Amino acid sequence: MSTATPESSNAPAAPLIQISNLNKWFGAFHVLRDINLSIASQERVVICGPSGSGKSTLIRCINRLEDHQEGSILVDGTQLTRNLKNIDLVRRDIGMVFQQFNLFPHLTVLENCTLGPIWVRHMPRQEAEETAKRLLDRVQILDQSTKYPGQLSGGQQQRAAIARALCMEPRVMLFDEPTSALDPEMIKEVLDVMTDLAESGMTMIIVSHEMGFAAQVADRMIFMDDGQIVEENTPDAFFNNPQSDRTKLFLSQILRH
Amino acid sequence: MFFRDQSEMLPERPAPITEVGVIGWLRINLFSSYGNAALTLVSLALLVLIIPPFVSWGLIDAQFSGDSGAACSGIGACWAWLDQRLGQFFYGFYPADAHWRVNVTALLLVPALLYVLVDNLPGAKFGRWFSYVYPLLAAYLLVGGFGLEVISTDKFGGFMLNMVVGLTGIVLSLPVGILLALGRQSRLPVIRLLSITFIEAVRGVPLITLLFVAIVLLQLFLPPEVSLDQLLRVIIMVTLFASAYMAEVVRGGLQAIPKGQIEGAQAVGLGYWQTMRLIVLPQALRISIPGIVNTFIGLFKDTTLVIIIGLFDLLGHARLLQTNPDWIGDVDHEAYLFSAAVFFVICFLMSRYSVSLEKQLSQDRH
């Protein structure tokens, strides 16, 4: 560090995502309890926890696929409320990858990728196609670009879904159990793409049970249970020296099989 | 033994004769079991019993010329009226010197339909525009004005009336039905309630009732100086009736689309209308094709109900012929048979188009 700019010396850069006192209910069920979490630009956060602990719900709140009842979520300074304009703004900046891929089966892989840029970013078709091809090449399925999702393997579909999200040039990528629906031999190809993405400096929030992958790419591990954040630590400390009993139990169950 | 080493490839052999060729086809399709074989034989016997007498009645013994029913023997079919009445069956009471306008409209319908229904035709870009403009062009040609002699819509009749009411209803009921189906799933209670009320109210009432309302009751509520064209009222009612059914067919398709599709679209940043137009409806409508075409066919046949309110469509003219003193008693079957055949051709074409569309769409994707 030779020259420190005034901004970086006085105040640390505002976090890209700031979640404060977040509470959410599904009907009477209290699914998220007082979540406080801030995520800096270029940070990689892996969230794990038993099923039903609210980890998917939490990241689905970040791009407003779920609404929340209490607390606030700020994404790059934009407050997420019922305001549709804000929701659109936030969704443009956030890419999401789903467990079930959610590719559009009636469109080719290339069309899946160009849809958002053309209709949301109003990019000229040719430019959108060039971007899409570059990113499909990056996830190594450029040769599949004219096929329909139904003609691809699960691993290829998930890589196409990652490319589709990247085409919107997001500032954050959300991954909701991206490898849980894949056959074992296809998990690696998807994790490789995600590792590559992490190394390129993308801000990533990942819900996953792939602990080896988490140890490798995460800057921070978060363990959730019963709708709250139970433990938060660096991967090293998290795996080698977990503090809470619930974390220990969870890690012993997930690592033993 | 648990271990095996079959490294030598077994040679490929031709399929047995019972599986391929004519014999194979017969065996698989017609004589696959005792029950199937019995059905095949019974069907054959029925065909032999029905077809030859029908052909000799309808063609061989039939009378094709003559000025009245007296010319017909009564043994074969009496087609002598075709010569005199075919025009009325197709044009109704539309003035004879303007029949060319109906003919031109019908001729232009062919490219207008083709450019909508078939992909990759030459000149598709211009063709699509022609298809969009065609309804206006057809209305101008049939009704007149702007230099063409105006022909009142109560002169419309015969099969041309069925086509006008049926095609307009088909073209309008699909978009209205889609909007109603989306409205029924809307998160906004007012829109949802209005859609449900409309759909259930219209589906709960026979079409004839709606037509009576359109002709008789509507005038009571409108100021006396306002008079809505009879044909227009019929078209509106037929469209509303079909769109209520269409809404339910489309809703079935909408419900088959997984929630993940909508979430995927939202995550990419698409808004509600973009999500519906680009992601949900293309998939939902594809699933709904059989139901949609079914509704179209039903609508097209329902156009014969206009006879109730005094308009004479194809079936109306068949009845006029049957009660005409010159032909009474001689053409009871023939007039209906002819009308049925005309309707069958159109409805069968629609049905075949739907089958080929489904095949084409499923080939594209897998």
pLDDT tens sequence across A94-132: 999 999 999 999 999 999 999 999 999 999 999 999 999
pLDDT of residue A1: 38
Task: Look at B269 and A88 and tell me if their CB atoms are within 8 Å.
Answer: yes
pLDDT of B1 reads 56
Task: Provide the pLDDT for residue B362.
Answer: 78
Given a contact cutoff of 8 angstroms between Cβ atoms, the answer to whether A121 and A178 are in contact is no
What gap in Å lies between CA B366 and CA B361, rounded to an integer?
A: 9
Instruction: Note whether B364 contacts A: Cβ–Cβ < 8 A.
Output: yes
With tokens 């307009």, the residue in question is: B168
With a CB cutoff of 8 Å and minimum separation 6, the contacts of A190 are A155, A158, A159, A162, A178, A179, A182
Put simply, the answer to whether A106 touches B267 (Cβ < 8 Å) is no
Whole-number pLDDT of residue B5:
75
Inter-chain touch A104–B286, beta carbons under 8 Å = no
User: What local confidence, expressed as pLDDT, does residue A84 receive?
Assistant: 84
Alpha helices in A120-244 (DSSP H): 125-138, 154-166, 184-199, 211-217, 235-240
Is A25 an 8 Å CB contact of chain B? no
Tokens encoding A60 = 């689905």
CA pair distance A215, A151, nearest whole angstrom: 33
Are A211 and A239 in contact by the 8 Å Cβ rule? The answer is yes
Check CB contact of A105 with chain B, cutoff 8 Å.
yes
Which residue among A104, A115, A116 places its CB closest to the CB of B261? A104
Measured on CA atoms in the order B262, B263, B267, B268, is the torsion positive or negative? negative
Question: d(Cα B313, Cα B339) in Å, to the nearest integer?
Answer: 10
CB atoms within 10 A of CB B245: 20
* Chain B: closest CA distance from residue A165 (Å): 7
| DSSP SS3 for A174 | strand
Helices (H) and strands (E) in chain B, counts: 15, 0
What digits encode the pLDDT tens for the residues A164-178? 999 999 999 999 999
Please tell me the predicted confidence (pLDDT) of residue A170: 94
pTM of the model: 0.85
Whether the Cβ atoms of residue A60 and residue A66 lie closer than 8 Å to each other: yes
Residue type present at position B70: A
In chain A, residues 152-191 whose CB comes closer than 8 Å to chain B: 164-165, 168
Q: Nearest CA to CA, how far is A109 from chain B (Å)?
A: 11
Residue of B188, B268, B363 to mutate for A, most A C-beta atoms under 10 A? B268
One-letter amino acid for residue A78 of the chain = T
Per-residue pLDDT at B68: 79
What would the mean pLDDT of A180-207 be, rounded to a whole number? Answer: 94
Sites in chain B below the pLDDT cut of 50: none
Strand spans (E) along chain B: none
Chain B neighbors of A108, CB-CB under 8 A: none
Name the pLDDT band for A221 (thresholds 50, 70, 90): very high
Give yes or no for B273 touching A (CB within 8 A). Answer: no
Mean pLDDT of A204-230: 93
Q: What is the ipTM of this complex?
A: 0.89
Measure CB to CB from residue A115 to each of B263, B278, B366 and give the nearest one.
B278
Report the SS3 class of residue A242: coil
Beta-bridge partners for A72: A20
Give the pLDDT confidence score for residue B365 in this predicted structure.
60
Tens digit of each residue's pLDDT (9 = 90 or more) over A9-40 = 444 567 899 999 999 999 999 999 999 999 99
Contacts of A148 in chain B (CB under 8 A): 364-366
Which helix (H) or strand (E) segment holds residue B340: the answer is helix B332-365
Strands A220-225 and A228-233: antiparallel
Q: Identify the helix (H) or strand (E) that includes residue A19.
A: strand A17-26
The SS3 assignment for A99 reads coil
The residue count of chain B comes to 366
Contact A96/B at CB under 8 A: yes
Q: At B124, is the secondary structure helix, strand, or coil? A: helix
Taking residue A159's Cβ as centre, other Cβ atoms within 10 Å add up to 29
pLDDT of residue A3: 42
Give A20's DSSP letter: E
Which of B267, B271, B365 faces A106 most closely, judged by CB atoms? B365
Q: Residue A109: closest CA among chain B residues belongs to which residue? A: B365
Confidence of residue A7 (pLDDT cuts 50, 70, 90): very low
CB B184 within 8 A of CB B251: yes
pLDDT tops 60 at residue A2:
no
Residues A254 and A242: their CA atoms lie apart, in Å, by: 14
